[in-house]
Amino acid sequence: MLQLKVIREEKQRIVSGLRKRNWAAQQLRVIDRIIDTDELRRSTQKELDDALAEGNRLAKSIGQLMAQGKKDEAETLKTQVATLKVKSASLEEKLNGLKTQLDDLLYSVPNCPHKSVPKGKTPEENKVAKDWTKPFPTLPENALPHWELAKQYNLFDLELGVKLTGAGFPVYRGKGARLQRGLIQFFLDEAVKAGYEEILPPHLVNEDTARGTGQLPDKEAQMYKCELDNLYLIPTAEVPVTNIMRDEIVPVKDLPVKMTAYTPCFRREAGSYGAHVRGLNRVHQFDKVEIVQIEHPDRSYKALQGMVRHVEKIMNKLELPYRILLLCGGDMGFSSAKTYDFEVWSAAQKRWLEVSSVSCFETFQANRMKLRYRDENGKLELAHTLNGSALALARIVAAILENNQTPEGIRLPKVLWKYTGFKMI
RNA sequence: GGAGAGGUGGCAGAGUGGUUGAAUGCACCUGAUUCGAAAUCAGACGUACCUUCGCGGGUACCGGGGGUUCGAAUCCCUCCCUCUCCGCCA
């Protein structure tokens, strides 16, 4: 969530930022409500503190009077304390109410887009930051989409997944499973080479963790929940990995903190059905290698560029046609201040598929998580968090299969040979 | 699943109702000493919120929540977690 202090002190910047997210005047009123509620909260806090301070003073006096045997005087003070307690109890109730109200309001406000984020409402208004200028792969006449190729070569089986679990849970097998494992290994190796610490986190997280990265309270429906144990299946490695730093204070010399993790990702996605979600385009469980950075506010956007380059490098090694989009305000995620999406060209479906999303959250996540660093002067400041997929498997697999199909079989990019143990499918 | 023990500041570890936000040790930071370092000595050393131009002041926090009391780290209730032993098990 946004910092109160920032809303208070830089209201205009926040308001114009939210306009980029197409917030109407009506919605923008929430900012004033926040400021008003906060003001009331502060004055109530002051009143309560004063009442409690008075109570503390009286309690001490009573103690002293009792020690001196002045029972009567002590009794008089006790009645004073009693009325004071009634007062502070009601003030406390009021204060708690205001705090809850304020939190609810704050939770409802998305991150303020960075000044470089373009205006826009829909995905069509995203800016192409880097286009694919070379020709697309040319496929044979009878080129197949990946779900047909999967059948032909026995790579993954969605019907079998239905039998075992339900729709959207692919069963990979044979060379398909092997390719999956090879890609994971390849992505992790690339991340480790780039200085990320490899993490293998739990795939189930508790409520506090889900709240830390903002899945709760709003996006509860996106996650699978183990009701009995009150745990959530992670929708992305970002959740457990970023939360490693929750409530931590990092010495400034330790920044940036760079972590990478492979995990399966589970998403309920009460989304659409139809041709464009066929095959691996959208599934409930997929594999992903995530990269996460905790950075100093002065360097976070440089780090964002670094992460974009990292993903680019991988795309190049996989010899896949890709483009990079700078998301417009209207298409950005709730928590993000700036996001680049990577799309891979799926030659048989003849469309772009999103395979990576790299974002800087500034202090939006850190504020909720209380993730701070101690600067050179010993002052505590909120750190910036960033993350990105490097990369999401299912759609990359789709693209690799489709783009490299030949009458003789599917040719794998050279970089994967040592990971899969085979060059062709 | 059964039995027991326990959760206190970065760590270790005192503290069973009264000026205790918390002894002591270690770590960290600053200064002195030193050519420099070690050792030694002195000092500083939690977080959040409120308040103040600033110095400072106030409030809350000893796993979470609730209660008893004029007053709770200390008593009571409840939840969570950790550890040990047994059982089960990849």
Query: A108-137 pLDDT, tens per residue?
Result: 899 999 999 999 888 899 999 889 988 888
Tell me, in Å, how far CA of A83 is from C1' of B70?
A: 12
Most confident of A178-182, A226-230, A250-254, A366-370: A178-182
- Which among A375, A357, A387, A378 has a CA at the least distance from the CA of A298? A375
Is the shortest CB-to-strand distance from A372 to strand B under 7 Å?
yes
Q: Which nucleotides of B are covered by protein (CB under 7 A)?
A: 18-19, 47-51, 57-60, 70-71
Tell me, in Å, how far CA of A86 is from C1' of B23?
A: 36
pLDDT tens per residue across span A377-400: 778 889 999 999 989 998 899 899
Tell me, in Å, how far CA of A224 is from C1' of B14?
A: 46
Is the shortest CB-to-strand distance from A46 to strand B under 7 Å?
yes
Is the shortest CB-to-strand distance from A75 to strand B under 7 Å?
no
A57-66, A96-105, A162-171, A318-327, range with the lowest pLDDT: A57-66
CATH topology assigned to domain A4-107: Helix Hairpins (1.10.287)
Q: How many CB atoms lie within 10 A of CB A339?
A: 24
pLDDT (0 to 100) of residue A139: 81
Token pair 């309690």 is found at A59
Q: Spelled out in words, what is the top-level CATH class assigned to the domain A123-420?
A: alpha beta
- Which among A409, A394, A420, A416 has a CA at the least distance from the CA of A144? A409
Cis amide prior to A144 (ω within 30 degrees):
no
Would you list the domain boundaries of chain A?
Answer: 4-107, 123-420
Decide if the complex's ipTM is over 0.95: no
Is the shortest CB-to-strand distance from A58 to strand B under 7 Å?
yes
The span from the CA of A17 to the CA of A344, in Å, is 30
In the DSSP assignment, the letter for residue A144 is -
pLDDT tens per residue across span A192-220: 999 999 999 989 888 888 888 888 777 77
pLDDT (0 to 100) of residue A277: 62
pLDDT tens per residue across span A226-278: 877 788 899 999 999 999 888 888 888 888 999 999 999 999 875 555 556 67
pLDDT (0 to 100) of residue A349: 84
